[in-house]
Amino acid sequence: MDNSLLLQLITGSIIGLGAGYVGSFMVLRRMSLVGDALSHVALPGIALALLFNLNPFFGAFVALFFAIFGIWILEKKTELPSETLVGVFFTSSLALGLLLTPEPELLEALFGDITQITKLDLAITFIAVTTIFLIMRKISNNLMLSIISKELAQALKIPVNKINFIFLFLVAVVVVLGLKIVGTLLMGALVIIPAAAAKNASVNLSQYTRLAILFGALSAVGGLLLARYSGITPGPTIVLTAGVIFLGTLVFKK
């Protein structure tokens, strides 16, 4: 195994771990389409960064940050569900991104290009995903209580709005990290499908989150290996691998 493939596999598996963990709570919050929509929101940020000769993933993060901040504010002010608000941002952002992104970079932005991964990317990914795990462990109990009953969580003086913002921020970080391996069109699938598969195969919450993490990593590694030895694009093969895992878990659905 050459060093470039090993670098891709390690980076992809770490992103898969983070995507599976965050995705497990997104499924419980009935935010399955939010991860997909947020990945599209990154496209205008990538386009603007390219126009100003900046790192495109810095642009993606800035765009996502403003999007989740807007969603968080509107969610508090209007009481509309996250899916509705993200849908508003999604359609306008995708159209704007397609118009602004230079054509040579458009395919890479849409489908990713993990062959451009560097050791610096690996280091950033490792630090970011480790931080995500630490923060999620800290807020997971309160987040779960707010999912079960927002009113009860508020009655117990849990800062529900603050926790929701932190969670959306972590989702944005995971999406940005994954753009390089699966692109803006498919990153949402890497967040949602492993978690959906874990829900089929698990019988309790602890097992559910562990399986979501495992399936996320397996999807990334399996998809990258399949792409490498078949000569096709990694992004779609990663998502298809996740889809195969999901279909397999239907057999063991509890």
Q: State pLDDT tens for residues 11-21.
A: 889 999 999 99
What pLDDT is stored for residue 155 in this prediction? Answer: 80
Q: Match domain 3-252 to its CATH number in 2.60.120.10, 1.10.238.10, 1.10.10.10, 1.10.3470.10.
A: 1.10.3470.10
Flag whether pLDDT at 144 surpasses 70.
yes
Q: Average pLDDT in the 194-202 region?
A: 90
- CA 190/CA 36 separation, integer angstroms: 9
What pLDDT is stored for residue 33 in this prediction? Answer: 66
Q: Average pLDDT in the 121-131 region?
A: 90
Q: Average pLDDT in the 27-46 region?
A: 73
Flag whether pLDDT at 82 surpasses 80.
no
Flag whether pLDDT at 106 surpasses 60.
no
Radius of gyration (C-alpha) of the chain in whole angstroms: 18
State the pTM of this model.
0.82
Average pLDDT, the chain: 80
Q: Average pLDDT in the 131-155 region?
A: 85
What pLDDT is stored for residue 83 in this prediction? Answer: 61
- 213 contacts 94 by C-beta, under 8 angstroms: no
CB atoms within 10 A of CB 204: 9
